[in-house]
Amino acid sequence: MFPNQFVNVKLLVDIKRDTVLVPVTAIQRNPRGDFVYVVKPDNTVEVRKVTIGATQGDVAALDSGVTAGELLVTDGLDKLAAGSKVSVQVATNATAQKSSQ
């Protein structure tokens, strides 16, 4: 390598199995720690404290706080409070749609 050149390196340190992965846009922070808004069956939200494991890009692995299959709010978070009523809209995968056309 020559001066002013650099290399990005990713090192595999550990493999986690059966881990819940969530978009980092769902994770909020306040002085008491990290939390997410979980959508309950009656379409209201509850604040749930989470423990973040590792993050890579736009995905975070959660060590605790959320179980697989629960719906999290990722948009309009600045307008929410515990007990707020929400309208659920499932996100689509734009890449998968383009490849199927």
Q: Which domains does the chain have, with CATH numbers?
A: 15-78 (2.40.420.20)
The predicted pLDDT at position 95 comes to 45
Predicted confidence at residue 86, as pLDDT, reads 87
Residues 37-48, mean pLDDT to the nearest whole number: 92
Is the pLDDT score of 98 beyond 60?
no
Please compute the mean of the pLDDT values over residues 72-92 and round it to a whole number.
84
Q: Look at residue 93 in the predicted model and tell me its pLDDT.
A: 62
Q: In the prediction, which pLDDT does 96 show? A: 46
Question: Is residue 23 within 8 Å of 74, Cβ to Cβ?
Answer: yes
**Mean pLDDT value of segment 89-96:** 62
